[in-house]
């Protein structure tokens, strides 16, 4: 395990790597929702309910990445546009700065990353509130997230497999791979972690579930320098054994710009899929061009010519394949964002004055004056969510 000095050095290095991408005010189509429950994780609930929503409609839970808001992620990904077209409800849990200075979900904090506790329980309570309020279909509840939101999606899928029919993890990490900030950074870099059998044991022990496991979609850029692409393979190994499939037994589709792999069950159903996007950095893959494009490019929302939003919804059965094929003919590729992606980390050193100021605030280095060392440590711990 890395020591605290090493962790602080990594925090500083990652903060220094922050780019100043194209920023704009996102279109906010979401509404606030009061949570029926104790909300122990102190999260905010935001929703999108299409006018054409009918009783028994599906629900998709969407988890934003670090530094993002729910509205920004929706605007970038286009989930509410697709939900409006196909008639399903959306729930956007939103992190608060009091919980994590960088607005990351605390996927590696034990008190927030387990069944019936902390942020995981808050999200579960939001889901129950939505299901009861709108008469939604309990058998068609899904979850998707980016980066820290992707890692938190892993937490929810492992902790509540009885709740979800499917999930999608974009540039995220497997469940239970880290329980401290130093471990989190190591796993992000692709270093260390539990064995394949231990990864599966972690999920099996996370809940009393004995039924079918959620189907899983995993997405990652081959040029992601923030969360190493080896995490995609680790997530697949974690879930393959649960579904009773071999990691080597897949069907591969090689297309321009990506490689898709699919693992089928004995009945022929698609149980796990993965997308490795050529040359993409850290973020959510988008295809925004044409009359049926979804989302808007921006920091961490990367134009690649393939819409993860549309493909994930298709994998879950929320969108018909014909619609996806029509959409693909309109896909365009922009080089503005393909090879980049700003840093999304679980607790990088930031403050409210960083936005709009070139380079953010100046970093302190490890040779700071002795009088400043305590402040550096406290800032790092607060930013990591390890100190309130």
Neighbouring residues of 230: CB distance < 8 A, sequence distance ≥ 6: 190
Which residues does the annotation mark as catalytic? 147
* Dihedral angle, C-alpha 118, 122, 127, 129, nearest 10 °: 140
- Any domain includes 208: yes
- Any domain includes 384: no
- Any domain includes 385: no
What does the pLDDT read at residue 8? 60
CATH number of the CATH domain containing 142: 3.40.50.1820
What is the Cα–Cα distance from 179 to 186, expressed in whole angstroms?
11
- Any domain includes 225: yes
- Any domain includes 153: yes
What is the Cα–Cα distance from 380 to 105, expressed in whole angstroms?
16
pLDDT in tens, the chain (388 residues): 455 566 566 555 555 444 434 456 789 999 999 999 999 999 999 999 999 899 999 999 999 999 999 999 999 999 999 999 999 999 999 999 999 999 999 999 999 999 999 999 999 999 999 999 999 999 999 999 999 999 999 999 999 999 999 999 999 999 999 999 999 999 999 999 999 999 999 999 999 999 999 999 999 999 999 999 999 999 999 999 999 999 999 999 999 899 999 999 999 999 999 999 999 999 999 999 877 789 999 999 999 999 999 999 999 999 986 655 444 444 444 444 343 454 344 443 233 333 332 222 222 233 333 334 444 444 544 444 444 4
DSSP β-bridge partners for residue 383? none
**What 3-state DSSP class applies to 309?**
helix
Phi, psi values for residue 213, rounded to 5°: -95, 150
Cβ-contact 346, 63 below 8 angstroms: no
What does the pLDDT read at residue 353? 33
Q: Answer yes or no: pTM beyond 0.85.
A: no
- Any domain includes 363: no
Q: How many CB atoms lie within 10 A of CB 269?
A: 10
- Any domain includes 383: no
DSSP 116-129: TSHHHHHHHHHHHH
Range 73-110 burial, b when 16+ CB lie within 10 A, else e: bbbbbbbbbbbbebebbbbbbbbeeebbbbbbbbbbbe
For 195, the token pair is 């064995």
**CA geometry: angle 83, 88, 94, nearest 5 deg:** 75
What does the pLDDT read at residue 26? 81
Cβ-contact 43, 70 below 8 angstroms: no
Phi, psi values for residue 262, rounded to 5°: -130, 135
Pick the closest to residue 217 from 171, 265, 169, 261 (CA basis).
169
DSSP β-bridge partners for residue 33? 45
Stretch (H or E) spanning 375: helix 370-383
For 344, the token pair is 């999304």
Residues of the domain holding 325:
27-348
Number of domains in the chain: 1
- Any domain includes 5: no
């Amino acid at each position: 395990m890395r020591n605290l000095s090493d962790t602080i050095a990594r925090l500083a290095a990652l903060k220094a790597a922050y780019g100043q991408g194209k920023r704009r005010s996102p279109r906010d189509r979401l509404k606030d929702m009061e949570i029926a429950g104790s909300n122990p994780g102190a999260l905010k609930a935001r929703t999108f309910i299409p006018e054409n929503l009918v009783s028994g409609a599906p629900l998709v839970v969407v988890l934003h990445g670090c530094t993002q808001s729910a509205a920004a992620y929706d605007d970038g990904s286009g989930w509410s546009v697709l939900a409006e077209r196909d008639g399903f409800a959306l729930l956007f849990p939103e992190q608060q700065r009091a919980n994590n200075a960088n607005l990351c979900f605390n996927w590696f904090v034990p008190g927030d990353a387990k069944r019936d506790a902390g942020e995981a329980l808050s999200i579960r309570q939001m889901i129950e509130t939505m299901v009861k309020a709108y008469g939604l279909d309990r058998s068609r509840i899904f979850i998707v997230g980016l980066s820290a939101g992707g890692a938190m999606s892993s937490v929810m899928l492992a902790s509540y497999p009885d709740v979800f029919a499917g999930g999608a993890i974009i540039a995220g990490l497997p469940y239970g791979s880290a329980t401290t900030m130093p471990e989190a950074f190591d796993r992000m870099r692709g270093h260390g972690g539990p064995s394949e059998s231990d990864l599966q044991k972690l999920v099996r022990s996370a809940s009393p579930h004995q039924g079918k496991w959620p189907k899983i979609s995993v997405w990652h850029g081959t040029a992601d320098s923030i969360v190493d692409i080896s995490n995609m393979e680790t997530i697949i190994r974690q879930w393959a054994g649960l579904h009773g499939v071999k990691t080597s037994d897949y069907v591969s589709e090689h297309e321009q710009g990506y490689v898709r792999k699919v693992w089928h069950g004995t009945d022929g159903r698609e149980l796990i899929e993965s997308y490795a996007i050529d040359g993409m950095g850290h973020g959510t893959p988008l295809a925004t061009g044409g009359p049926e494009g979804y989302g808007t490019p921006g920091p961490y929302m990367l134009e690649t010519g393939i819409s993860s939003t549309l493909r994930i919804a298709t994998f879950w059965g929320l969108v018909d394949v014909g619609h996806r094929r029509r959409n693909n003919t309109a896909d365009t590729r922009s080089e503005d964002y393909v090879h980049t992606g700003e840093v999304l980390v679980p607790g990088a050193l930031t403050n409210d004055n960083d936005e709009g100021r070139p380079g953010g605030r100046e970093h302190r280095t490890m040779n700071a004056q002795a009088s400043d060392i305590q402040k550096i440590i406290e800032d790092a711990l607060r930013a990591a969510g390890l100190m309130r």
